[in-house]
Chains A and B, each alone.
Chain A
């Protein structure tokens, strides 16, 4: 049996040990530990605005050690506000990885791509590893890449919707159109959808609501971890072509008929 080819996932210059990224926002805090233990993510996201240094119910106290923290800038409505939150994260010892969330649509929580692009420029200039949450748009993804984003994180569906990979065609274009890793974030509701994103060539997926709203969140985290592994393996194995309809008399048969001039 041939040994598996190495398949490192490098993000912002760091080797990441799992292609499943989990959120920490929708659980009672004591639950986070169980979910992280079961899902074995390397990266766990957290909302900076939830961090309550030295205070009650501080999310930082509940995150298992040894994980890469990915603070997000939720609450920011402008690039400058995202930078303020990123610096706060750094001060609190959360490291330099920042998931940029700039949201000016409070009802659907859709990212503001334009402000996000500006935020990337500010954060990169300040030495952060910028990971922008974005509405899938290849042209914008390219601009973000050029601005120094370490990855792009297009949404699969509106956040919290559990609707799955509803933007799959747009994400497919981004995966083939940029060189940085593409992390599908938001909207994935089932392991099969995470698996599909990975089969398409996404570098990783990020899940929160689907696990948090499951009847058994740790078991669901485990299910997502398995699906992500399966999807990645399928991507690496190279999916076979899907059978196409064939015509009984070849359409190009006429091309083989010699003409009198030949």
Chain B
């Protein structure tokens, strides 16, 4: 762990007492140790109280709104060998990279669903899907979509500036695990092995003028508690250094991909605790929940902290136009189309929001 934001891996979650949890719940501004308390086993009996507080904060900061987006995988070539990922270089899967014409077909198909926010993804291959390729795709997407995000390998500051100029509005870059030892072990080879290069990616994006960043940890790789505490520390650090930045958390649980099983497991109940704790710790941050989670679970978290849901998701390369050009990254648990997700949000008394952003 970098010295930048302390050492969440030394936090003693077992030493948290009920009164520490109660104190964290009454505070208006939480310190990192309060986030630690809310993530501890001792907070489990307080889940209902945490949910109530999370709901109240979400309403006050975001209203009854849920933003919708969809991912578009541009390529799945990868030079990494991440032990948990379907796109690992070692996996014998169908690889593909979309041509500009194919990208346009995908964008047109997505546009038809009414969605206005598209998240572009690739594997990490500067050969098959280099920054120029990605930024060209950003330009294409920006012509049709008011909000375009990037979830690709870490760029240099200059590359992020080029992405911004091409129309990129936000960057998601998940550290996977903040534990440097585990990180090193599960990234045996490839450019992703450089922990710090990845860690400082969101910061480079903000320095380059990108307005929003998404942070995340892949839950289940190791002990989720210190990872989520580190995630909170990362968010707090960035919000202090870049007060104008809009920051969002993502809490994906490890899903089986191409036969790879999760090494650790986070239950749905624990994921709920994580989302409530992050909401209470960072009331103004967005929280995304992907289709890794089943529809029932996603629907029930509407209003309780989550502010952003994906819909009409394909995790294959391409596929929005009905034709996949490469294998999927992970298995989804929520296959619903945009209209169905919209209906589910409305049924929860919330407004599905297609655009909450104007490119400036």
Tell me how far the C-beta of B109 lies from the nearest C-beta in chain A, rounded to whole angstroms: 16
Interchain CB contact under 8 A, A55 and B351? no
Interchain CB contact under 8 A, A28 and B243? no
Interchain CB contact under 8 A, B60 and A213? yes
**Alpha-carbon separation in the docked complex, A29 to B63 (Å):** 11
Interchain CB contact under 8 A, A55 and B114? yes
Contact of B360 among A52, A81, A107, A108 (CB under 8 A): A81
Which A-chain residue is minimally distant from B345 (CB atoms)? A28
Is B357 located at the chain interface by the 8 A CB criterion? Answer: yes
Tell me how far the C-beta of B45 lies from the nearest C-beta in chain A, rounded to whole angstroms: 27
> Among the listed stretches B177-185, B218-226, B244-252, B315-323, which one makes contact with chain A, having 4 or more residues with CB under 8 Å of it?
B244-252
**Alpha-carbon separation in the docked complex, A47 to B65 (Å):** 13
CB neighbours of B247 from chain A (8 A): 106
Q: C-beta contact mask, B283-320 vs A, less than 8 Å → 1, else 0?
A: 01000000000000000000000000000000000000
Is A209 located at the chain interface by the 8 A CB criterion? Answer: yes
Is B258 located at the chain interface by the 8 A CB criterion? Answer: no
| Chain B contact residues, majority secondary structure | loop
Which B-chain residue is minimally distant from A82 (CB atoms)? B360
Q: Contacts A55-B116, A104-B244, A106-B284: A49 and B357 contacting too (C-beta < 8 A)?
A: yes
CB neighbours of A161 from chain B (8 A): 60
CB neighbours of B65 from chain A (8 A): 25-26
Interchain CB contact under 8 A, B358 and A85? yes
Contact of A50 among B59, B114, B244, B356 (CB under 8 A): B356
Is B154 located at the chain interface by the 8 A CB criterion? Answer: no
Which A-chain residue is minimally distant from B349 (CB atoms)? A28
Interchain CB contact under 8 A, B350 and A28? yes
Among A48, A75, A209, residue most surrounded by chain B Cβ atoms (within 10 Å):
A75
Interchain CB contact under 8 A, B64 and A212? yes
Interface set, chain A 191-244, CB cutoff 8 A to B: 209, 212-213
Interchain CB contact under 8 A, B346 and A85? no
Contact of B353 among A57, A84, A103 (CB under 8 A): A57
CB neighbours of B351 from chain A (8 A): 27-29, 57
Interchain CB contact under 8 A, A85 and B243? no
Tell me how far the C-beta of B58 lies from the nearest C-beta in chain A, rounded to whole angstroms: 10
Which B-chain residue is minimally distant from A77 (CB atoms)? B244
Q: C-beta contact mask, A23-47 vs B, less than 8 Å → 1, else 0?
A: 0011111000000000000000001
Interchain CB contact under 8 A, A50 and B353? yes
Chain B contact-residue range equals 20 to 34
Q: C-beta contact mask, A106-117 vs B, less than 8 Å → 1, else 0?
A: 111100000000
Chain A contact-residue range equals 20 to 34
Q: C-beta contact mask, A73-95 vs B, less than 8 Å → 1, else 0?
A: 00111000100110010000000
Is B237 located at the chain interface by the 8 A CB criterion? Answer: no
Contact of B59 among A56, A75, A213 (CB under 8 A): A213
CB neighbours of A106 from chain B (8 A): 239, 243-247, 284
**Alpha-carbon separation in the docked complex, A162 to B114 (Å):** 34
Is B354 located at the chain interface by the 8 A CB criterion? Answer: yes
Tell me how far the C-beta of B51 lies from the nearest C-beta in chain A, rounded to whole angstroms: 16
Q: Which B residues fall within an 8 A CB radius of A?
A: 56, 59-65, 114, 116, 211, 239, 243-247, 284, 342, 346, 349-358, 360
Q: Which A residues fall within an 8 A CB radius of B?
A: 25-29, 47-52, 55-57, 75-77, 81, 84-85, 88, 103-109, 160-162, 209, 212-213
Can you list 12 residue pairs at the A/B interface with Cβ under 8 Å? A27-B63, A27-B64, A49-B355, A51-B355, A57-B354, A77-B360, A81-B360, A104-B243, A108-B284, A109-B284, A209-B63, A213-B60
Knowing that A26-B62, A212-B59 are A-B contacts, what are 20 other residue pairs whose CB atoms are under 8 Å apart, sorted by A's residue number? Answer: A25-B65, A26-B63, A27-B351, A28-B351, A49-B355, A49-B356, A49-B357, A52-B355, A55-B114, A55-B355, A76-B360, A77-B360, A85-B360, A106-B243, A106-B244, A106-B246, A106-B247, A209-B59, A212-B63, A213-B60
- The 5 closest A-B CB pairs, nearest first, are A26-B63, A56-B114, A28-B351, A49-B358, A81-B360
